[in-house]
Amino acid sequence: MNDFTGGPAGVAVSRGPGQPEQTAELRELHQGFERELLVPLWTEIGELMPAEPMPKTSAHLWRWDRLLPLAEQAGELVPVGRGGERRAIALANPGLGGAPFATSTLWAAIQYLGPREVAPEHRHTQNAFRFVVEGEGVWTVVDGDPVAMRRGDFLLTPGWHFHGHHNVSDTPMVWLDGLDIPFAHHMDSAFFEYGADEVSDRSTPERSRAERLWAHPGLRPVSQPRSLPSSPIAAYRWEHTDAALSEQLALEREGHPGVIEPGHAGVRFTNPTTGGDVMPTLRAEFHRLLAGTTTLPRREVGSAVWQVFDGAGVVRVGHSTWTVGRGDLFVVPSWQQLEIGAESELDLFRFSDTPIFEHLHAHRVQLEGAS
C-alpha cells in the first residue's frame, strides 16, 4: 500500500514505488500546482488508470414486493401534474452518494399512474422506454400517436419526442421507466421542454400508427428509406417476444442452433432502419432460462439493470448472491461477474449502456468456460 504524506491540502503525495523523495522543494512544487489548479499525474495514476474498471456503482437488488406498496402509497399522497410531471420513483444506487441513478449511466424508476389520471406531455433529449411488468389500461401518447401499454410490452420514447400518459381504467398501473439521464447529466447535454397539459390524443387504439407502419417481421415500408437514430417502432409486444424465445428453445430441443447457451434463449430489441440497438445509448434484451439452467459467468464493460418478469432463480453479481422473483430489479456494475441460475423457468428483461461503449470502441466481454 502506498504511503500518502507530505502534500498540501487536496494533493496526495505518494511515497510508493517509483515516486520522488519527499523534500521541501517537492512540497513547494505541489503547492504551486494547487495554486494554479493543477494536479500531477504521478499522484493520481492508480485511480485514473486502474488495471481494470473500478466502478462506483454497486451491485444491488430492489425487491418488487417492497417497491410496489411504496408506489401505491405515493399514488395516494402525491399528485401528477405540472411541477413533478411524473409519479416516478427512481432507484438510487448505494454506491453513487444518494444520486437518483441506478448506475453511473442508467436511470430506472417505478412509475405509478392512478385510475383516470393523466400525466401531461413533455419532451427531453434523454432517451426513454417503458417496460410493463403487470397491468394494463394506460396509453402513452408519443408525438400524438396513442400506444397501448400491457404486461410484457417494451415501449419506446426516443429523445426529443413529446409524450404523455393517460389511464382510461378504474385501476392503477405501474411500470418500469428506463432512461440515460445519468449519462446526459454527466455530459452536460440535457434539454427539457413542457408540452400540453393534456395528452394530444385520447383515443385508445389496439395498435399505434407506428406499429401499423413498422411492426411487420422482416418488412420495411418503402416510403421510409432513411436510417433513423432510434427505432420508429413504438411498442414491441409481449406476444412476439414470448414466441421468439419459445421457438429458440424448441429449436434447441430439436437439435438445431438458436440459443445463447444450453437452456438459455435471448432476444435483442432492434431498430429496423439500421439493424442496431433501439436507441443510441440504450440496449434492451429479453432472456429466458429453463429450470435448472445456469449461465456461464460473464463480465463486460458497461452497466446493466435487470428485472425479473416471471419465475424464480438465484443471481450472483460480484460477491453478492440473491434469490429473485417476479418484479425484482438488480444492477450489474461494469466488469462485475454475473451468473444467473433458474430454479423455475425464468424470464428476465435487461437494459444496458453497451451501445455507448461499442460506439467508442471501449467495449470488452469476458466469458468464463466458453468453448
The pLDDT value recorded for residue 64 is 98
Are the C-beta atoms of residues 26 and 48 closer than 8 Å to each other? no
Cα–Cα distance, 220 to 203 (Å, whole number): 26
* pLDDT at position 370 over 80: no
Q: What is the DSSP string of 141-188?
A: EETTEEEEEETT-EEEE-TT--EEEEE-SSS-EEEEEEE-HHHHHHTT
C-alpha distances (whole Å) from 168 to each of 115, 179, 205, 294 are: 7, 25, 12, 41
Exposure string for 159-172, b = 16+ CB within 10 A, e = fewer: bebbbbbbbeeeeb
% of the chain with per-residue pLDDT over 70: 95
In 3-state terms, what secondary structure has residue 34?
Answer: helix
* pLDDT at position 9 over 80: no
Please state whether 61 falls in left (phi above 0), alpha (psi between -120 and 50) or beta. Answer: beta
The model's confidence at residue 17, banded by pLDDT at 50, 70 and 90, is low
* pLDDT at position 345 over 80: yes
* pLDDT at position 5 over 50: no
Q: What is the mean pLDDT of residues 238-252?
A: 98
Q: What is the mean pLDDT of residues 291-305?
A: 98
| Burial class of residue 132, CB neighbours in 10 A (0-12, 13-18, 19+) | buried
List the grid coordinates of 116.
Answer: 383516470
Please state the pTM of the whole predicted model.
0.92
Cα–Cα distance, 268 to 249 (Å, whole number): 16
* pLDDT at position 8 over 70: no
List the grid coordinates of 369.
Answer: 468456460
* pLDDT at position 21 over 90: no
173-199: per-residue pLDDT in tens?
999 999 999 999 999 999 999 999 999
Q: What is the mean pLDDT of residues 26-32?
A: 94
In 3-state terms, what secondary structure has residue 47?
Answer: helix
Q: What is the DSSP string of 100-117?
A: S-SSSS-EEEEEEE-TT-
Q: Which sign, positive or negative, has the C-alpha torsion 200, 205, 207, 209?
A: negative
Q: ∠ CA(227), CA(231), CA(235), 5° rounding?
A: 150
Cα–Cα distance, 34 to 325 (Å, whole number): 52
Q: What is the mean pLDDT of residues 122-137?
A: 96
Closest residue by Cα to residue 165 from 133, 134, 136? 136
% of the chain with per-residue pLDDT over 90: 89
273-284: per-residue pLDDT in tens?
999 999 999 999
